[in-house]
Structures are given as structure tokens and as C-alpha cells.
């Protein structure tokens, strides 16, 4: 009689342990599904970040400021034309001022030369700064793309592992 009792207890223990394993397995499966959903959400966010980075760069390139447009135009003009324009603006005023002995025209020609030189320097500096900023932004964008690609590859690997675990269960 006691032998049968022991068998019944063992059988009930086995059923209880099987039930516990099934409950544990169901909980693990639920957690895995939640993790998988988080992975998919993260992957979608990564794709959105890539698109947003590209749109940011395109917007910056398509919408330059007036100063940037002027600097870009100034940068396209050869140096000899810049010098010629400066001479054409200042020398006639200076010559007329010297010949007529008018201090106002001499002063005006000197001020014109100073303003022209300063403007030229500022436009050249602005253009080089814009070029440097664009290059740095592009390099940063490439680094972010590589980082996002790596994360996307990791997500794909995690999806594969999840699929393998699901098939094993």
C-alpha cells in the first residue's frame, strides 16, 4: 500500500513539475516576444534616425543664408578679378582726390579700400567655415550611419537568435 502511495506522490510530483515547466516556458516565451517587439521598435527608430540625418543635411545644403550665398558667389570669382574690382573702386577716387586736392575723396577712397578688403576677408572666411562645417557634418553623418548599421546588424542577429530559440521550444 505504501508503495502505491509513493508511486502516486511521484506521479503527482511529475505532473506538477511538468505544469511548472510549461508555465515557466510560457513566461519565457512571453518575455521573448516582448523583447522581440522592443527590438523591432528599436530597428524602426534607427531607420527613422537615418532618414532624419539625410533630411537635415539636404535642408542645410538647399537653404543657405544670404551671407552664405554671397560667400559662395565670392568664392567662385578668381583672385585677379577680385583685385581688379578693388582697384577699380578705390583708385579713381584716390586719383581724383589727389588731383583736386580734396581730402574727402582721399578719405573715401581709403575707407572704400578698407571696407572692400575687410568684406573680402569676411566672405572668404565664411566660405571656408561653411565648407569645413559641411565636411565635418558629412563625416559625422557617416560615423552615425556606420553606428546605426552596426546596431541594425545586431538587431538582425538578435532576431535570428529569437527565431532559433522559438524553433527549439
Give the pLDDT mean for 43-58.
Answer: 79
- For 105-155, write each residue's pLDDT tens digit: 999 999 999 999 999 999 999 999 988 988 888 888 888 888 878 887 887
Note whether 148 and 46 are within 8 A (CB). yes
Which is higher by pLDDT, 3 or 162?
162
| 144 vs 138: CA distance, rounded Å | 10
- Which of 96-105, 107-116, 156-165 is least confident? 156-165
Q: State the chain's mean pLDDT as an integer.
A: 81
Q: Which residues contact 110 (CB under 8 A, 6 or more apart)?
A: 90, 94
Q: What is the structure's pLDDT at 142? A: 84
Place of cell 538587431: 155
- Strands (E) in the chain, as ranges, are none
Kindly report the backbone phi and psi dihedral angles of residue 64, in degrees, each rounded to the nearest multiple of 5, phi listed first. -75, 155
Note whether 111 and 99 are within 8 A (CB). no
Note whether 112 and 97 are within 8 A (CB). no
Amino acid at each position: 500500500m505504501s508503495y502505491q502511495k509513493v508511486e502516486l506522490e511521484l506521479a503527482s510530483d511529475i505532473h506538477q513539475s511538468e505544469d511548472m515547466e510549461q508555465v515557466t516556458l510560457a513566461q519565457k516565451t512571453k518575455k521573448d516576444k516582448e523583447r522581440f517587439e522592443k527590438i523591432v521598435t528599436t530597428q524602426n527608430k534607427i531607420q527613422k534616425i537615418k532618414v532624419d540625418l539625410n533630411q537635415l543635411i539636404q535642408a542645410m545644403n538647399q537653404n543657405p543664408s544670404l551671407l552664405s550665398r554671397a560667400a559662395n558667389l565670392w568664392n567662385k570669382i578668381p583672385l585677379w578679378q577680385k583685385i581688379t574690382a578693388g582697384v577699380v573702386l578705390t583708385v579713381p577716387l584716390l586719383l581724383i582726390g589727389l588731383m583736386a586736392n580734396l581730402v574727402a575723396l582721399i578719405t573715401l577712397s581709403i575707407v572704400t579700400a578698407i571696407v572692400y578688403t575687410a568684406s573680402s576677408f569676411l566672405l572668404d572666411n565664411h566660405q571656408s567655415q561653411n565648407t569645413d562645417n559641411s565636411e565635418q557634418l558629412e563625416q559625422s553623418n557617416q560615423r552615425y550611419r556606420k553606428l546605426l548599421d552596426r546596431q541594425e546588424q545586431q538587431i538582425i542577429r538578435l532576431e535570428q537568435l529569437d527565431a532559433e530559440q522559438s524553433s527549439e521550444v
